[in-house]
């Protein structure tokens, strides 16, 4: 096993690639009361067009297949549901689908190995029939309708739709009622067999484990073999420009919710971790609780709590998001524009920069306090081809000159969008 240490957070990870292609990361957390396992595959909602290179077969699947698969894997041939079986063992189990991966997980204090049996069995043994696929369409249709009535989801999706023209981030992860109506068991098996290949997956365990012992326990429970087929994903080329700058809809909300976004340019030749850290620092300087803009908005009652910040990125898309609630979202957007313009002209304040840099570093360190946070972080970063430890190491390389450069490149007011959901 390869061992990677980080002395700053006093953590180490053990990495092993098995002969069948499965990658495993083990993160020992001595004396942790909980054990956490997450098993993911690099198959998300944007992966709806691909080529099986050995077969020379180009395949298009309906929107929502990755999410549909996530739902269906829990149902077993003997009529049981693995989510119920795991709950009966007293463990917390779940699954989720993102744009670029799908993951299954559980957290346990007791009955860990019994739960691991169930967990690794259902992920490796799909069971789809015409009947259970049709039944699931009704369940997912209800979920889609529920999200259509969710203001926070709609304000996010509208931001994606006005930001992206071709990239499938502008399509709901669950698909639409129309798209899921086209899903059948053959599509599910084809997608599973190609994307749930062991060579396309990562299993992460975090807790009070002896690495070699837990590795053997995992290997004993692997029943799948790998076909090692090469799947080439096909994506349409996205324009650099946004679709339009704003969209406002009305729904039942007490206070308007907003998403302000900046569409970023995809660059393959950059240090994405260093860039991510710089963006995070800039966002806190612009609209974090210690910023002048936030203090002014808070005093005037235009904002009641700090907005959330995110930089979402893969090799297919990248964007900055600022999400929050305000009685006057447009005022926040205008103040943000003014602040960005001033920072570009005058440069970032060095004292403020150093304070925020220390705050961000502290946030990174506290991520290692929780086994679930650690495991999810390493899985998500792995599918972006990142080692999570890099965030701890590279923040010290960051200086104000580099951060000013990222400010000028990423926070382009011509690529700024605002999505608002306001009350009726």
Give the catalytic positions in this structure. 70
Backbone φ/ψ region at 79: left (φ over 0), alpha (ψ -120 to 50), beta: left
DSSP string, 84-145: HHHHHTT-EEEEEE-SS-EEEEEEESS-HHHHHHHHHHHHH-----HHHHHHHHHHHHHHHH
Distance CA 97, CA 68 (A): 9
DSSP string, 206-264: EES--HHHHHHHHHHT-------PPEEE--PPPPSS-S-SEEEEEES-SS-EEEEEEEP
Rg of the chain, C-alpha, whole Å: 23
Question: Do 373 and 34 meet the contact criterion of CB atoms below 8 Å apart?
Answer: no
The kind and range of the H/E element at 403 are helix 400-410
Beta bridge partners of 143: none
Residue 395: CA count within 13 A, CB half-sphere: 22
- Number of Cβ within 10 Å of residue 165's Cβ equals 14
Distance CA 423, CA 253 (A): 5
Q: From 218, 206, 313, 213, select the one nearest 23 (Cα to Cα).
A: 218
End-to-end CA separation in angstroms for the chain = 59
Q: From 305, 276, 294, select the one nearest 363 (Cα to Cα).
A: 276
How far CA 116 is from CA of 84, 113, 227, 288, in Å, comes to 14, 5, 24, 41
Question: Do 92 and 107 meet the contact criterion of CB atoms below 8 Å apart?
Answer: yes
Indicate the SS3 state at residue 382.
Answer: helix
Distance CA 336, CA 290 (A): 15
Distance CA 205, CA 115 (A): 13
């Amino acid at each position: 096993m390869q061992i990677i240490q980080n002395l700053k957070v006093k953590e180490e990870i053990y990495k092993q690639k098995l002969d069948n292609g499965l990658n495993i990361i083990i993160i020992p957390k001595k004396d942790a009361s909980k054990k956490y396992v997450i098993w993911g595959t690099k198959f998300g909602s944007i992966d709806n067009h691909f080529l099986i290179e050995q077969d020379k077969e180009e395949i298009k699947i309906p929107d929502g297949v990755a999410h549909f698969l996530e739902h269906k894997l829990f149902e077993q041939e003997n009529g049981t549901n693995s989510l119920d079986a795991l709950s009966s063992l007293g463990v917390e189990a779940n699954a989720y689908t993102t744009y670029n991966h799908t993951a299954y997980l559980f957290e346990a204090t007791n009955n860990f190995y019994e739960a691991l049996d169930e967990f690794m069995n259902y992920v490796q043994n799909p069971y789809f029939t015409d009947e259970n696929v049709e039944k699931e369409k009704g369940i997912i249709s209800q979920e889609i309708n529920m999200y259509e009535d969710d203001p926070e989801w709609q304000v996010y999706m509208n931001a994606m739709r006005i930001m992206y023209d071709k990239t499938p981030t502008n399509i709901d992860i669950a698909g639409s009622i129309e798209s899921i109506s086209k899903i059948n068991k053959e599509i599910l098996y084809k997608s599973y067999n190609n994307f749930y290949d062991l060579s396309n997956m990562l299993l992460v365990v975090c807790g009070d484990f002896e690495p070699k012992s837990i590795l053997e326990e995992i290997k004993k429970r692997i029943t799948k073999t790998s076909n090692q087929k090469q799947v080439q994903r096909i994506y349409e080329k996205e324009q650099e420009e946004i679709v339009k700058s704003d969209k406002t809809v009305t729904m039942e909300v007490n206070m308007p919710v907003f998403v302000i976004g900046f569409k970023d340019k995809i660059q393959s030749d950059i240090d994405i971790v260093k860039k991510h850290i710089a963006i995070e620092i800039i966002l806190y300087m612009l609209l974090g609780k210690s910023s002048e803009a936030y203090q002014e908005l808070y005093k005037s009652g235009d904002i009641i709590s700090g907005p959330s910040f995110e930089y979402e990125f893969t090799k297919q898309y990248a964007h900055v998001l600022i999400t929050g609630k305000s009685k006057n979202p447009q005022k926040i957007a205008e103040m943000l524009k003014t602040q960005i313009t001033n920072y570009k002209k005058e440069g970032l304040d060095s004292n403020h920069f150093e304070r925020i840099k220390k705050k961000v570093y502290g946030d990174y360190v506290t991520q290692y306090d929780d086994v679930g946070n650690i495991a999810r972080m390493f899985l998500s970063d792995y599918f972006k081809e990142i080692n999570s430890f890099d965030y701890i190491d590279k923040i010290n390389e960051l200086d104000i000159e580099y951060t000013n450069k990222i400010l000028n490149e990423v926070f382009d007011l011509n690529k700024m969008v605002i999505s608002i959901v306001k009350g009726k």
